[in-house]
Amino acid sequence: MLVSKAIGITPVPSLLRVYAKVEPLTIAELNEFVIISEPQVIEFVCTGMVTDIKLEKGWCYVSCSRCTKKLQRTVSSLRDLQ
């Protein structure tokens, strides 16, 4: 299935659209792609569904010590998303 996204230029029918292939991936497959791929700037939409919550294991994420927002992992560090 293909989806399209306008690229911000005055549209001339469908010629000025960017098309992307939609592929279902597991979290493991997405993590592997992020780890082994060359760094690049891309936009993507990730839709997910919570199927189970394991209360006995707890849950956490790495956050900024000042604002407590989640930190984004980069190639060599973690950065605040502000």
- Mean pLDDT (the chain, rounded): 70
Judge whether residue 36 has pLDDT over 80: yes
Q: Which residues of 21-45 are buried (b: 16+ CB within 10 A; e: fewer)?
A: eeeeeeeeeeeeeeeeeeeeeeeee
pLDDT at 20: 64
Whether 78 and 71 have beta carbons less than 8 Å apart is answered as yes
Structure-model confidence comparison of residues 8 and 41, the more confident one: 41
What is the reported pLDDT for 67? 79
Q: How confident is the model at residue 2 (pLDDT cuts 50, 70, 90)?
A: very low
Note the pTM of the prediction, 2 decimals.
Answer: 0.33
pLDDT of residue 18: 59
Task: Give tens-digit pLDDT for 42-65.
Answer: 776 777 777 877 778 777 777 777
pLDDT of residue 31: 81
